A and B are shown apart, each in its own frame.
Chain A
Amino acid sequence: MSKKMHITLTVNGKEEEFLAEPRELLIYTLRERLNITGPHIGCETSHCGACTVTLNGKSVKSCTMFVAQADGAEVTTIEGIGGPDSLHPLQEAFKEHHGLQCGYCTPGMITRAVKLLEENPNPTEEEIRFGMAGNLCRCTGYQNIVKSILAAAAEMNAAKEAAE
């Protein structure tokens, strides 16, 4: 065991302070310390993306980040993307287009897709497949995930146009 560090994190808009060993992985901080269990653990070697969160504006695999590195950071998880009264269009679209089955990859998948659409609000199917390639799904074969993201993009663009 090594010396514990004082850590400050802003998670889904809420500031959290605690002492932790620097080797604590961010995914465990979220899941076990803060009880934010949306992000999951799939591969532990940064291949599957089930643990994806947004950290300081970047999509990050939280299994490959020490909490010490995240000290001072702003983190958004699936829980911060939309809830029962305010579903994000991506959450709606995944439900509508059967973009999930066992649900295990879904939080990381949607969290990544939110960022993808921020960066590219009007992606082609190919751009979605490339931009989502850091998230593995074992159930859906991706076809309906791609469909969900395309649908959400269309929905978000339409809403934006209507607002303008």
Chain B
Amino acid sequence: MKDDVENREDRVANLKGLGCSRKRVEDARFTQGKGNYVDDIKLDGMIFGDFVRSPYAHARIKSIDAAAALEVPGVLAVLTAKDLEPLGLHWMPTLAGDKQMVLADGKVLFQGQEVAFVVAEDRYAAADGIELVEVDYEELPVIVDPFEALQSDVVLREDLDPNAPGAHGPRKHPNHIFTWEAGDKEPTEEVLANADVVAEASMYYHRTHPCPLETCGCVASMDKVNGKLTLWGTFQAPHAIRTVVSLISGIEEHNIRVISPDIGGGFGNKVGAYPGYVCSVVASIVTGKPVKWIEDRMDNLMTTAFARDYHMKGRISATKEGKITALQCHVTADHGGFDACADPTKFPAGFMNICTGSYDIPTAYLEVDGVYTNKAPGGVSYRCSFRVTEAVYFIERMIEVLAIELDMDAAELRRINFIRKEQFPYTAALGWEYDSGDYHTAWEKALKAVDYEGLRAEQAHRVEDFKAGKTRSLMGIGLSFFTEIVGAGPVKNCDILGLGMFDSCEIRIHPTGSAIARLGTISQGQGHATTFAQILASEIGLPADSITIEEGDTDTAPYGLGTYGSRSTPVAGAATAMAGRKIRAKAQMIAAYLLEVHDDDVEFDVDRFVVKGAPERFKTMKDIAFAAYNQAIPGIEPGLEAVSYYDPPNMTYPFGAYVCVMDIDVDTGVPEIRRFYALDDCGTRINPMIIEGQVHGGLTEALAVAMGQEIAYDDMGNVKTGTLMDFFLPTAWEVPNYETDYTVTPSPHHPIGAKGVGESPHVGGVPCFSNAIQDAFRPFGNRHTNMPHDHWRIWKTANALGLHD
């Protein structure tokens, strides 16, 4: 920073603080191929581990013979459940209060399940060894349908006492995991029974997968001399991983160092603890060598962390005029073979109870049943806060179905039911207190931007042309208005494995006026090193370019719960601001001492403290930093450091209004996205460039999920979409240009008013794309059709409506 900059505007600009589109500091290394991802780590003597995986979805393991594998040159060991059992590591706790096999213990419950871990000198020997491990399986009946699971005599989890309650209360059936309720059952039923209008829909939100471009992996290195374990890995929550590893291995936490290096995208996939991590640690302990495990793409899609898989049934009631009176929802949640969902402990269905959406719905009831099936465990929040995509999809579909029932425009129906600005803070029928919002303003802005009425007129014209045989293309207008619930969360109701979901920041100011700040979160592409420095720059008056942000090393960073559920800005961002304010408070005392005035007689101004009423008398933060290290100031400790652990008083509630215009070829089922407008309100905007980038990315992942991305199983439990040929990740060719827009409604309880944005576009985007498809067919009688809207399913919708006759 130039010291001679005196113009206040220039001084503000110099900081590159809140609100500016600062270029990312991460990009120098990434654009030059100098990122440091887990598979880039190479240690002396490092060996490799990989899994023998089950080809069957449900089978008993009669025997495992590793003799031939051990003959392969380079194969060092083959671990099975029997080897892990004496250590108590053949099972591990899941994030959802269940337990999961690390290596198959007597049976397998899903295709791709880890059966044995082959450790070898290189990847090639490991792969050859895997081929030669002989496993004798006895196939068992496979259940891939949760409704069937609840009727079946086939008990999937023989390890559980069928009569004992689970982690979340009583179980109704050996394949049942929990029932979770929110809201008022009887009053809701009563309103529904007496309503003017009731609309119903059953919808399946298909199973999908976050599929970051980098798969999961780790390097475990046990230093037996010093008794220290270092674990590098693709961890979205490195501190939580350290605690979990300590709890299950018995190694004291101070002897474990967990490091998340650069992460090649997470989107929820890298929240959980996977058998690969445990086996790598064990293998390193056994062999005394560093062990690397990196899953391949098929392993990734088949086994680590699916998302969604919710069967949702809803009823919504309204007056004749369209005022919503009640909402009821039942979910049958397919959790796979183990309940390994990543949710705060008290929320086995995540924040599904945000499903009243952005609407003032007086009465509501939600019931969720979790079920075991022969599918992979997981249930992570794929680019969303816990189960919020499901909730928003549900309500945004219910609104559309209700609009059909009322024969009303869906934009108008939303408008008359939005929670009004003056109702905030607003307590919803299912319990959440929405902190702030201005939905009507956002909605009007969005509809105006796209010329909504013009679009509807064009659509009506198209329908006429279609009916007259002049075109075979239909036009769909997709609407969605979403409210996210992010920033988990207040320790009073949010924890994972008993760890409160606060987050943290620790700042050290160096004598010459630069700084390092460390956080409990970890970026996977969000640009924390750029944006957190901006928050601090504005708080402490040192330029963002002089502030290093460091995350991901549990030996140096303060404890935090990590990055997922858009919690970094709401929680760690708040901790950063609060730690900055502690720095500033001490700086104020130093400044007052240096200026020889009372503490209260100086005030902060951009990058300095000035004497009130005498702006020519000041000390810059740089001066103050130096003074903190070279002056003996009475009553003040030397140094300038601060740490803040922030327990948010509430969640934050970002919202947005999206409109999508699509043309659909009725004969082939091929859609073309003509336009996509996205208005996001994430409160205070830290870095508009990064926000826009997050919106583009989230919308593209929404497009993928809505239009084709699916983990599909056949009746035998075989995964049908195990490679990127079949698992839909759109290329640049399939993706449109997006128009982005915003309003700003700051969070009243967040120190800088920010709400988080990374996941909003995904949450709001999925129903918007889906609604566009469904809207195109509305004039022909469509009510609801399930995602993913790939060509054949769109075609099927058209076909069922008689449009091919």
Q: With the chains together, A130 CA to B694 CA distance in Å?
A: 23
Inter-chain contacts of B735 with A (CB < 8 A): 129, 141-143
Bound-complex Cα distance A140 to B689 (A): 12
A128 in the interface (beta carbon within 8 A):
yes
Chain A residues within an 8 Å CB radius of B7:
none
Closest residue of A by beta carbon distance from B735: A142
Residue of A nearest to B693 (CB): A98
List, in ascending order, chain A residues with CB within 8 A of B700's CB: 140-142
Task: Tell whether A11 is near chain B: CB-to-CB under 8 Å.
Answer: no
Residue contact A103 to B525, C-beta cutoff 8 Å: yes
- Chain A minimum-CB-distance residue to B21: A98
Give Cα A76–Cα B76 distance, bound, in whole angstroms: 36
Chain B residues within 8 Å of A75, by CB = none
Decide: B39 and A138 in contact? CB cutoff 8 A. Answer: no
B288 at the interface (CB under 8 A from A): no
CB distance from A161 to the nearest CB of B (A): 25
Query: Does A50 touch B at the CB level, under 8 Å?
Result: yes
B180 to A: closest C-beta gap in Å: 31
Give the interface residue-count category, chain A: 35 or more
On chain B, the residues within 8 Å of A133 by CB distance are 731-733
Residues in A104-145 with C-beta less than 8 Å from chain B: 104-107, 110, 128-130, 132-145
Which residues of chain A have C-beta atoms less than 8 A from B40's C-beta?
A: 31, 37
Residue of A nearest to B704 (CB): A138
Q: Is residue A15 within 8 Å, beta carbon to beta carbon, of the partner chain?
A: no
Asked if A143 and B696 make an inter-chain contact with CB atoms under 8 angstroms apart, the answer reads yes
**B729 touching A104 by the CB < 8 A rule?**
no
CB-defined contacts of A107 to chain B, threshold 8 Å: 30, 33
Answer yes or no: A5 CB below 8 A from chain B CBs: no
Beta-carbon contact of B24 and A98 below 8 Å = yes
* Residue among B28, B32, B212 facing the most chain A CB atoms (10 A cut-off): B32
Contact A141 B213 (CB under 8 A): no
Interface string of A33-69 (1 = CB under 8 A from B): 0011111111111011010000000000000000000
Chain B 282-306 interface 0/1 with A at a Cβ cutoff of 8 Å (1 = within): 0000000000001011000000000
What sequence of 0s and 1s flags, for each residue 192-224 of chain B, a beta carbon within 8 Å of any chain A beta carbon?
000000000000000000011111000000000
Query: A144 and B212: CB pair below 8 A?
Result: no
Q: How far is the CB of B144 from chain A (nearest CB, A)?
A: 25
Q: Point out the residues of chain A lying under 8 angstroms from B215, CB to CB.
A: 42
Q: Is B37 an interface residue (CB 8 A)?
A: yes
A21-B124, A101-B527, A101-B697 given as contacts; is B33 within 8 A of A79 (CB)?
Answer: yes
Given known pairs A98-B689, A136-B729, the reply for A91 and B31 (CB within 8 Å) is yes
A159 within 8 A of B: no
The answer to whether the Cβ of B639 comes within 8 Å of any Cβ in the partner chain is no
- Judging by beta carbons under 8 Å apart, are B124 and A40 in contact? no
Q: Contact check: which of A32, A100, A130, A143 meets B42 at CB < 8 Å?
A: A32
Tell me, yes or no, whether B35 is within 8 Å of chain A by CB: yes
Asked if B30 contacts A100 (CB within 8 A), the reply is yes
B267 at the interface (CB under 8 A from A): yes
Count B-side interface residues using an 8 Å CB cutoff: 60
A50 to B29, CA, bound (A): 16
Given contact pairs A28-B123, A45-B724, A102-B525, A144 touches B696 in the complex (Cβ within 8 A): yes
Residue A87, interface by CB 8 Å: yes
Tell which of B150-158, B257-265, B564-572 binds the partner. Answer: B257-265
B737 in the interface (beta carbon within 8 A): yes
The one of B26, B73, B123, B732 that contacts A103, using a Cβ cutoff of 8 Å:
B26
Q: Is the CB of A44 within 8 A of B27?
A: no
The answer to whether residues A37 and B33 also contact, given A47-B725, A138-B213, A143-B738 and a CB cut-off of 8 A, is yes
A9 to B737: give the CA distance in the assembly, Å: 41
Which of B723, B732, B737 has most chain A Cβ within 10 Å?
B732
Is there contact, CB below 8 Å, between A104 and B37? yes
Cβ-defined partner of B724 (8 Å) among A1, A48, A128? A48
Q: Nearest Cβ distance between residue B5 and chain A, in whole angstroms?
A: 24
Task: Return the chain A residue nearest B525 by Cβ.
Answer: A102
Rounded to whole angstroms, the CA-CA distance of A100 and B31 in the bound complex is: 8
Q: Known: A43-B723, A78-B33, A140-B697. Is A102-B732 also a contact (CB below 8 A)?
A: no
Are A40 and B693 in touch, CB under 8 angstroms? Answer: no
Q: A1-B73, A137-B213 are in contact. Are A41 and B39 (CB under 8 A)?
A: yes
Asked if B729 contacts A40 (CB within 8 A), the reply is no
| A82–B733 CA distance with the chains assembled, in angstroms | 27
Q: Does A17 contact B (CB under 8 A)?
A: no
Q: Please pick, from B32, B264, B696, the residue contacting A84 in the complex, using a CB distance under 8 A.
A: B32
Is A146 located at the chain interface by the 8 A CB criterion? Answer: yes
Is there contact, CB below 8 Å, between B211 and A38?
Answer: no
CA distance A13 to B773 in the complex (A): 52
A138 close to B31 (CB less than 8 A): no
Q: Quick one: which of A21, A100, A105, A135 has the most chain B CB within 10 A?
A: A100
Q: Write the chain A residue with the least CB distance to B740.
A: A143
A85–B339 Cα distance when bound, in Å, is 52
B218 CB to closest chain A CB, in angstroms? 15
Contact of A94 among B31, B35, B74, B265 (CB under 8 A): B31
The distance in angstroms between the C-alpha atoms of A46 and B631, with both chains bound, is 62
Q: How far is the CA of A100 from the CA of B699 in the complex (A)?
A: 16
Q: CB distance A104 to B264 under 8 Å?
A: yes
* Complex Cα gap A16–B623 (Å): 53
Let me know if A39 and B33 touch, CB within 8 A: yes
Shortest distance in angstroms between A116's beta carbon and chain B's nearest beta carbon? 11
B726 to chain A, nearest CB (A): 10
Whole-angstrom distance between the alpha carbons of A111 and B198 in the complex? 56
Chain A residue numbers with a CB within 8 Å of B33 are 36-39, 77-79, 107
Structural contact, B213 and A105, CB atoms closer than 8 A: yes
- Verify if B684 is at the interface (C-beta below 8 Å from A): no
Asked if B343 lies at the interface with its beta carbon under 8 angstroms from chain A, I say no
Out of A41, A110, A132, which one reaches B732, CB within 8 Å?
A132
Quick one: given A31-B39, A43-B723, are A102 and B696 in contact (CB under 8 Å)? Answer: no
Partner of B697, one of A40, A106, A128, A138: A138
Q: Which residues of B contact A105 (CB under 8 A)?
A: 213
Residues of B within 8 A of A130 (CB): 732-733
Interface presence of A23 (CB below 8 A): yes
Does B624 lie at the interface of the complex (its beta carbon under 8 Å from any beta carbon of A)?
A: no
B524 at interface, CB cutoff 8 A: yes
Query: A102 contacts B27, CB within 8 Å?
Result: no
CB distance from A146 to the nearest CB of B (A): 7
Q: Which residues of A contact B400 (CB under 8 A)?
A: none
Given A98-B690, A138-B213, A35–B42 Cβ distance below 8 Å? yes
B525 touches A95 (CB 8 A): no
B598 beta carbon closer than 8 Å to chain A: no
The 7 closest A-B CB pairs, nearest first, are A38-B33, A103-B30, A102-B525, A104-B264, A141-B696, A141-B700, A78-B33
Given A38-B32, A48-B213, A136-B731; 19 other pairs, CB 8 A cutoff: A1-B73, A1-B128, A31-B40, A43-B297, A43-B724, A78-B32, A79-B32, A101-B527, A102-B214, A102-B265, A103-B264, A103-B525, A104-B525, A132-B731, A134-B731, A136-B213, A140-B697, A144-B693, A144-B696
Q: Would you give 10 A-B contacts (Cβ < 8 Å), ordered by A?
A: A1-B125, A1-B128, A43-B297, A47-B724, A84-B32, A91-B31, A101-B526, A135-B731, A136-B729, A144-B696
